[in-house]
C-alpha cells in the first residue's frame, strides 16, 4: 500500500464528512483512510464509519491519536491531515506529489478558507516561514515515510507543539519537500478571536516553546484562543 491518510478528530461532526468524501478517490486508488477519534460526543464517528478503512478510538491528544493511527497504518507513506483541511487539487495530484518526493518527509502549502486580503497574507506568511525554517505545522498536511517516522521516534506525547517538535527532529535527518498543491485550512480561529490577537498569541507560544517553556503550560494558554467548533 502506497499511502495511509491519518486524521485525528474530536467533535468534528461539522466538517469531517466533507473532508472524507473528498478523499474517497484515494481509497479507489489503493490508499487507506484512518480516522482516530479522541472521544467525540457528536456525530463524528457515525459520519465517518462508512467513509474510512479503519476507525480507531483513543484517549484525547492529537499526538497520541496520530501515533496510534500510524501503528494501524499499512502504507509506505503516512499523510497526517486535520479534520478541517480541504483539498484544492485533485486527490491523485497530492498522491503523485508525495510519492515523487525526493525527501522522506514534507508538507503542503496552505491557504485559509476566507478570501479576505489579510487571510491571504497570513497563508503566504505561513508558507514562507516553513520554507525558511524547515518547520511545518499540522494544518500543512505533514507527510512522512513510515520507516522514517519510526526511526525518529514518532510524535512526542505532548499537548501542544507536537508537530514543531517532530519537524525539528526530522530536519536533522533531511530537509522537507514542499508540495505545490495547496491545502485549504479553516480561518475560524482568526475570525473568532481577531487576526492580530491570534497572530500575537501564536508567535508568543512558539517563542516560549523554543525558549523551553513546558508545552503543558503553553497548551493552557492556547486553549484560550481555541477554534470555536474544534476540540482536537
- Give the model's confidence band at 215: pLDDT under 50 very low, under 70 low, under 90 confident, else very high: confident
- Give the model's confidence band at 191: pLDDT under 50 very low, under 70 low, under 90 confident, else very high: confident
Q: What is the average pLDDT across 143-171? A: 95
Integer Rg of the chain from CA: 16
- Whether this prediction's pTM lies above 0.85 is answered by yes
Q: Count the Cβ atoms, other than its own, within 10 Å of residue 165.
A: 18
What's the angle, vertex CA 141, arms to CA 67 and CA 183, rounded to 5?
155
Sign of the CA dihedral with 195 first, then 201, 206, and 211 last: positive
Q: What is the pLDDT of residue 19?
A: 97
Q: What is the average pLDDT across 162-169? A: 94
| Per-residue pLDDT reduced to its tens digit, 78-133 | 999 999 999 999 999 999 999 999 999 999 999 999 999 999 998 999 999 999 99
Q: How far apart are CA 177 and CA 105, in angstroms?
A: 6
| Per-residue pLDDT reduced to its tens digit, 53-89 | 999 999 999 999 999 999 999 999 999 999 999 999 9
Closest CA to 134 of 158, 98, 107, 101: 107
Strand partners, 112: 185
Instruction: List the 143-145 sheet strands across, edge first.
Output: 54-57, 32-37, 3-9, 77-80, 143-145, 105-112, 177-185, 86-87
Residue 232 pLDDT > 80? no
Q: What is the pLDDT of residue 223?
A: 67
Residue 218 pLDDT > 90? no
Q: How far is CA 174 from CA 67, 76, 80, 129, 203, in A?
A: 21, 17, 18, 17, 25
Q: Class for domain 3-186, per CATH?
A: alpha beta
State the chain's mean pLDDT as an integer: 91
| Per-residue pLDDT reduced to its tens digit, 9-37 | 999 999 999 999 999 999 999 999 999 99
Q: Count the Cβ atoms, other than its own, within 10 Å of residue 147.
A: 10
Q: What is the pLDDT of residue 230?
A: 46
CB 33 within 8 A of CB 26: yes
- Give the model's confidence band at 212: pLDDT under 50 very low, under 70 low, under 90 confident, else very high: confident
Amino acid at each position: 500500500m502506497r499511502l495511509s491518510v491519518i486524521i485525528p478528530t474530536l467533535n468534528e461532526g461539522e466538517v469531517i464528512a466533507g473532508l472524507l468524501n473528498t478523499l474517497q478517490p484515494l481509497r479507489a486508488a489503493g490508499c487507506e483512510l484512518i480516522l482516530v477519534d479522541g472521544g467525540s460526543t457528536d456525530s463524528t464517528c457515525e459520519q465517518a464509519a462508512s467513509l474510512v478503512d479503519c476507525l480507531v478510538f483513543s484517549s484525547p491528544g492529537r499526538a497520541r491519536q496520530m501515533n496510534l493511527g500510524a501503528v494501524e497504518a499499512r502504507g509506505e507513506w503516512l499523510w497526517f491531515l486535520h479534520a478541517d483541511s480541504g483539498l484544492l487539487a485533485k486527490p491523485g495530484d497530492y498522491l503523485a506529489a508525495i510519492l515523487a518526493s525526493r525527501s522522506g518527509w514534507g508538507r503542503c502549502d496552505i491557504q485559509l478558507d476566507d478570501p479576505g486580503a489579510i487571510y491571504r497574507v497570513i497563508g503566504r506568511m505561513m508558507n514562507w516561514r516553513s520554507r525558511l525554517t524547515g518547520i511545518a505545522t499540522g494544518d500543512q498536511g505533514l507527510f512522512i515515510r513510515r520507516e522514517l517516522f519510526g526511526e525518529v521516534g514518532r510524535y512526542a506525547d505532548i499537548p501542544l507543539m507536537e508537530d514543531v517538535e517532530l519537524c525539528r527532529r526530522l530536519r536533522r535527518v533531511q530537509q522537507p519537500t514542499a508540495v505545490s498543491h495547496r491545502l485549504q485550512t479553516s480561518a475560524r480561529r482568526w475570525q473568532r478571536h481577531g487576526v492580530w490577537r491570534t497572530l500575537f498569541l501564536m508567535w508568543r507560544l512558539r517563542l516560549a516553546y523554543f525558549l523551553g517553556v513546558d508545552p503543558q503550560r503553553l497548551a493552557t494558554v492556547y486553549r484560550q484562543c481555541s477554534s470555536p467548533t474544534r476540540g482536537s
